Amino acid sequence: MNIRNRIFFSYVVLVLFSLFFLSSYVYLTTLRGTIDRDLTRLYEVKNSWGDMLIAMNNIVENWDDGRSFSTFTHRVEQVQTGLDYLNSDGVRRFYYPKDLKEHVAALYRIWHMAQGNIKQIEDGIDTADFQRIVQTITHEPGLQRLNNLWVELFYRGTSQQRTAAYTIRQVLDSIEFFPIFSSTMNRQFNIILDETSAVRESVVRIQVALAVSFFAIFLMGYFTFSFLFARSISRPIVDVSLKLKRFIGQSIEPTSIVHSDEIALLDHSVTTLIEHYTYLSQRALTLAQGDIESESPGIPSAGIVGNALGEISEYLRRLAQVSSWIRDGRYGAEVEVVSHKDVLGQTFNIMSREIRERITTLSRVFDAIEEALLVIHENGSIVESNNRLLKLLGVESIGELNRCGGLPEFVVEYDRFLGKVLKEQRNRSFFATMITARGVHIPVRIAARRLEPVTDQQDHIMLFISNESWKVRMKRERARLKSQAVLAELRALRAQINPHFLFNTLNTIAQLAETSPDRAVNTIEKLAGLFRYALSTTERDTVTVSEELGHLRDFLEIEQLRFEDSLSITFQIDSSIESLSMPPMLLQPIVENALRHGGDEAGRVEILIRAELRENEVVFGVEDHGTLSAGSDFFGSRGIGLKNVENRLRTYYGKSIVIRPNNPAGTIVTLSIPAGAWQ
């Protein structure tokens, strides 16, 4: 629930509570007003009852020409009306206790019995004899007393008057009998009034208690909601800060800040987060630049992303270490596979095993050659050699040769001919003198071939050393050695092409590891597929055009992740050539150069890849619109990729790459192979 909803909910609860109190208070006020009206009616009935008794006494004491009787009958009607109201509507309300209702019912029953007596009085007064007799006292001065009239008529009147006097006596007897009801009625009235007043006092007490309770609950609710509202704002801020602490692994100590200002805590946490991700960005940048050894300055790496980058750094460091072992001759060294999903590690180990097998095969080939065959660094240290050289020089191992100073210590004027090979960058054959471990001088012929560097490390030189007494045999084996040298050169050229993907894609994987782990895993799987293709093609001389183009599309999908919207690729492929054969890994270096140098001034790269059949030749073309045009230094400006393709084309077909400008800007690189050369 957001803050606005919490505030709204708090106000709704307080408003509903206030409405409940107001409605309850109004109801109790109305209830008290109803009880007050009932009390007023009770007092009115009681007063009417007293007035009726006074009027009844006035009938006896002062007939007043019948006006006392009229007042009496009027009071009787008032008492009857009031008691009917009380018995039917008044005390029958639900909030009156049962005892009160029973007392009202008893009062009504007593009144019902008293009505019989009242009926006798009214019937006696309404008789003709009574009316005729009371005429005798009409208009007499003084009080018109019925007692005196009765006595006077009974003792002094005629017999007829004495008979009529009995009518007055009956009225007087009924009036004299009425006090029996008077005391009972008065007692009942008092009881009913007391109990009704008690009900009223209970309602008043409830009303006061409700007001006090509302005030107390309202204050308590106000402070409670205020506390909860304040906590609902501060608690998420503290929780977010603590989550940031757990996420980035920083030492955030919020205790002192929380008690003073949660906003300051949030600011502190966000600042720490910015510093943390600044460090992670610097670390990711160093990884993207290929620097896996140094650490970026900043706070210590921790948290999910920091640990992930640390693991990536360590993983790449292990790859680099094992790669350096392989470079130094420890063929077959493998990196630790961290899980069954470690496709890169598994692929790397497959490559290492392939290299070991091929080096082992090459060593066996070396050993099968009767001449001394070896590969050396430009500094003279020996990389590989066959046993013929060791036997020729009289040493036990290559390590012993290198400990003695390498080949320069065993060849006279070594620097002179090696310098020419490195300077002229071409194959040379010359005669020299070798000195064995025992100091014996042996005339030899040395054929030197400079190998293209696989990386930016030292150049390598392949040497064939033969004793002059073996000239005839060397001529007989020359053709075979030449073909083997060409094959070795082709495999070296192909090996130079294969590793490009690893270094081009690791930067993309490092960037995706933080932003999109799923895409990073997908990219690793694609990279593994590409290397599987590269490794499998080392066992095959040809692939179909369809396979080569499929490999190229997979390669461009990985590059698309790096270039995003700034890269546009268009394929124009003649479907009739897809089943034809061609050398593997021939198009990728050309497309890589187009990606690297084919961007326009805005940095956008647009590449068109064409493949068609022309006059029994398969023609491939790669066009870009970059700012670097074709020229005499085209190969030098664009690295070794095109040189390798050029060398392979010359070796396979004796052809060259055709490079021409693309209008209005860019370069078109075209190569062709015979359609039936590899069928």
Cα distance between residue 621 and residue 640, in whole Å: 19
Low-confidence stretches of the chain (pLDDT beneath 70): 1-4, 6-7, 89-92, 138-142, 157-160, 229, 232, 245-263, 292-306, 309, 327-329, 361-371, 416-420, 422-426, 452-458, 467-504, 538-539, 628-641, 676-679
Helix pair angle (471-497, 343-368), 10° resolution: 170
Q: In angstroms, how far is CA 294 from the centroid of its own chain?
A: 33
- Residues 542-674, CATH architecture: 2-Layer Sandwich (3.30)
Cα distance between residue 2 and residue 333, in whole Å: 58
Fold for domain 373-484? Beta-Lactamase (3.30.450)
Helix pair angle (303-327, 343-368), 10° resolution: 0
Q: Look at residue 508 in the predicted model and tell me its pLDDT.
A: 77
Q: Look at residue 215 in the predicted model and tell me its pLDDT.
A: 82
Which of these, 62, 64, 173, lies nearest to 123 by C-alpha position?
A: 173
Q: Look at residue 462 in the predicted model and tell me its pLDDT.
A: 78
Cα distance between residue 397 and residue 387, in whole Å: 9
> Exposed/middle/buried for 5, CB within 10 Å: 0-12, 13-18, 19+?
exposed
The amino acid at residue 25 is: Y
Q: Look at residue 472 in the predicted model and tell me its pLDDT.
A: 43
Secondary structure (3-state) at 18: helix
Which of these, 581, 575, 589, 612, lies nearest to 669 by C-alpha position?
A: 589
Domain boundaries, the chain: 3-203, 373-484, 542-674
Cα distance between residue 629 and residue 13, in whole Å: 77
Q: Look at residue 639 in the predicted model and tell me its pLDDT.
A: 56
Q: Mind listing the pLDDT tens digit for each residue in 105-144? A: 888 888 888 888 888 888 888 888 788 777 777 666 667 7
Length of the chain: 679
SS (H, E, C) 28-90: HHHHHHHHHHHHHHHHHHHHHHHHHHHHHHHHHHCCHHHHHHHHHHHHHHHHHHHHHHHHHHH
Cis peptide before 453 (omega within 30 of 0): no
Cβ-count burial 319-347 (b if 16+ within 10 Å, e if not) = beebbebbeeeebebbbeeeeeebbbbbb
pTM across the whole model: 0.37
Q: Look at residue 473 in the predicted model and tell me its pLDDT.
A: 41
Q: Is the dihedral of CA 317, 320, 326, 327 positive or negative?
A: negative
Which of these, 336, 294, 341, 286, lies nearest to 315 by C-alpha position?
A: 336
